[in-house]
């Protein structure tokens, strides 16, 4: 039955592989000075999967944690959206396998390839499904990028890691938080800045400086738009959870949005850049910090170019 329902986030989850890779290992491989990576990116370590690990297993760990945190039965999930750029196979999609691994019998399941802004696209789409269909939606953003980087290409080798993050959306006005406003955008004129060409397996970053500038532009523009939509001043934001692409990128965005640096999540330090997974990973890791009345701004930009922003309002109890 379709209609109009409230929608709120009722569960958070995350997962990372066991192996933590510190900068010293990569700096030695690339002949970089000690501390070079952290100075340029804000990253000290990242997590990489083992040889036998697969995307859906990592995604299932985060999804299971979110379901447990929401304290719901798997049978209550009506839809699974998997935001990933590194599925287990090009065909078939990975979301049905993820749903199977989580015991989500009969739930719809679809992959969403939105690159680094994939979670924001999935969040907006999932919120719409909840509001019109009245069914719970599980969103998982997960990537295994360690298998897609060229270890000899400095631009990508120093940044990317593997991780998964998840949220559960429910037709309820009594969850932890709800979506206040959102903005999604794209700019295909910069389509080839970051790519994995058809038939190939390794990522190429063609122009890091241009990508940096365009990521700052898109994240700032979308952030301003959602604040304007909600009639919210920058000083009302209690938490800024940007895509963890590079600390210099999101610090520039925070500055242009006139946000205090103290409100910015910095999970990039320990977890690196896991593309679409960084925002839900950050939300799950930082959930003990959120309190009633808090406004949380999310922004992202990545390959495509795709980008977006969303504003969350925490309604009540702390979600820890």
Domains delineated in the chain? 8-170 (3.40.47.10), 177-314 (3.40.47.10)
CA-CA distances (angstroms) from residue 133 to 11, 78, 268, 285? 19, 9, 36, 30
User: Given this model, what pLDDT does residue 320 score?
Assistant: 74
Q: What is the pLDDT of residues 68-92, one digit of tens each?
A: 999 999 999 999 999 999 999 989 9
User: pLDDT tens digits, the chain, 320 residues: what are they?
Assistant: 556 899 999 999 999 999 999 999 999 999 999 999 999 999 999 999 999 999 999 999 999 999 999 999 999 999 999 999 999 998 999 999 999 999 998 899 999 999 999 999 999 999 999 999 999 999 999 999 999 988 888 888 999 999 999 999 999 988 999 999 999 999 999 898 888 887 777 888 888 889 999 999 999 999 999 999 999 999 999 999 999 999 999 999 999 999 987 899 999 999 999 999 999 999 999 999 999 999 999 999 999 899 999 999 998 777 77
Distance between CA atoms of 176 and 291, rounded to whole angstroms? 9
Question: How many angstroms separate the first and last alpha carbons of the chain?
Answer: 33
Question: Which position among 143, 246, 273, 306 bears the catalytic label?
Answer: 273
Is 273 a known active-site residue?
A: yes
Burial annotation 294-314 (CB, 10 A radius, 16+ → b, else e): bbbbbbbbbbbbbbbbbbbbb
Nearest CA to 59 among 116, 120, 122, 15? 15
pTM of the model: 0.96
pLDDT for position 205 = 80
Catalytic residue among 222, 243, 246, 306: 243
Residue 64: which of 26, 102, 32 has the closest Cα? 102
Active site residue 143: no
Quick one: tokens of 130?
């909840």
Q: Which of 14, 23, 69, 116 is catalytic?
A: 116
pLDDT at 2: 58
Pairwise CA distance, residues 253 & 214, whole Å: 11
Catalytic residue check, 246:
no
């Amino acid at each position: 039955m379709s209609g109009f329902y409230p929608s709120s986030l009722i569960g958070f989850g995350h997962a990372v592989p066991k192996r933590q890779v510190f900068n010293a290992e990569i700096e030695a491989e690339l002949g970089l000075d000690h501390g070079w990576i952290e100075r340029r990116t804000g990253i000290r370590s990242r997590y990489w999967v083992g040889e036998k690990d697969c995307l859906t297993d990592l995604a299932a760990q985060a999804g299971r944690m979110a379901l447990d945190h929401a304290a719901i039965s798997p049978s209550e999930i009506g839809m699974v959206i998997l935001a990933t750029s590194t599925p287990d196979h090009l065909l078939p999609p990975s979301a049905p396998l993820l749903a199977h691994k989580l015991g989500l019998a009969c739930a719809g399941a679809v992959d969403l390839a939105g690159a680094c802004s994939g979670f924001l696209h999935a969040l907006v789409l999932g919120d719409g499904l909840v509001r019109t269909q009245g069914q719970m939606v599980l969103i998982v953003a997960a990537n295994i990028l360690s298998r897609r980087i060229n270890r000899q290409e400095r631009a990508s080798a120093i940044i990317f890691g593997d991780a998964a993050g998840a949220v559960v959306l429910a037709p309820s006005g009594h969850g932890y938080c709800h979506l206040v406003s959102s903005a999604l955008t794209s700019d295909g004129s910069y389509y080839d800045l970051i790519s994995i060409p058809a038939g190939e397996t390794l990522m190429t970053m063609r122009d890091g400086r241009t990508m940096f500038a365009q990521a700052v532009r898109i994240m700032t523009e979308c952030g301003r738009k959602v604040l304007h939509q909600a009639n919210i001043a920058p000083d009302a934001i209690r938490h800024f959870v940007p895509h963890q692409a590079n600390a210099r990128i999101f610090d520039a965005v925070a500055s242009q949005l006139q946000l205090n640096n103290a409100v910015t999540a910095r999970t990039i330090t320990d977890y690196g850049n896991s593309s679409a997974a960084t925002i839900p990973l950050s939300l799950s890791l930082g959930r003990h910090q959120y309190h009633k009345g808090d406004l949380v701004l999310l922004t992202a930009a990545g390959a495509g170019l795709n980008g977006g922003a969303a504003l969350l309002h925490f309604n009540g109890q702390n979600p820890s």
